[in-house]
Structure 1
């Protein structure tokens, strides 16, 4: 018998106004099975959290074509540096005047180089 690992989900550490998309809706958007979205979460390409008991992904992580460019690499950098999913979520959504904006906003605006530089620096 093959055991599938549980879907990693962070606690809800984001502000209530941060829009979340339930996993079935993410699968529907990408025309993929829910199990494929679960696999992306297990692989660390996406982070999920539970809000009101529902497993969801922040809407800011998604574009019309898929996952925001640079997000999986940023998650990997921070995970490899020992950060837990809830810490990564909090960091991605924290406003930084020197960026400007939040790291996820910078990734969405194709300003990923600085975000990755900062994520690498956090590992040391």
Structure 2
């Protein structure tokens, strides 16, 4: 399954800015600061952020450290997104690591992410 299909809902930078009620420059800064990560998708290769990376308050705070652990383990942004969205039946909640993070299982997801680094 390709990454675009695996993630499902994506937000372009303008879409994310509109959803969060912030300027485009703020969304670009979120990406630069790795509060969220983005990749290029679609035929036009537009920069997009998985919609599950944000909620009504902005970037999900539990993601930043998880991004760091996975990047330190050698993953690039597309690989990080793929890992977070790949279903894992051994998680404490049904779904993928992103769903477990959103359900409050940050410690378990980060433990698994750290295991990948070794």
- Normalised by the shorter chain, which TM-score bucket? 0.7 to 0.9
Q: After alignment, is 16-25 or 114-123 more displaced?
A: 16-25
> TM-score by structure 2 length?
0.85
Which residue number corresponds to residue 113 of structure 1? 107
**Bigger helix share:** 2
2:50 paired with 1:51:
no
> TM-score by structure 1 length?
0.82
Which residue number corresponds to residue 84 of structure 1? 76
Q: After alignment, is 70-79 or 60-69 more displaced?
A: 60-69
Q: Which runs of 5+ in 1 are unaligned?
A: 1-11
Deviation at 1:51? 2.1
| Root-mean-square deviation (Å) | 1.7
Aligned residues: 113
How far apart, CA to CA, are the structure 2 residues paired with 1:30 and 1:118?
Answer: 30
Q: Which runs of 5+ in 2 are unaligned?
A: none
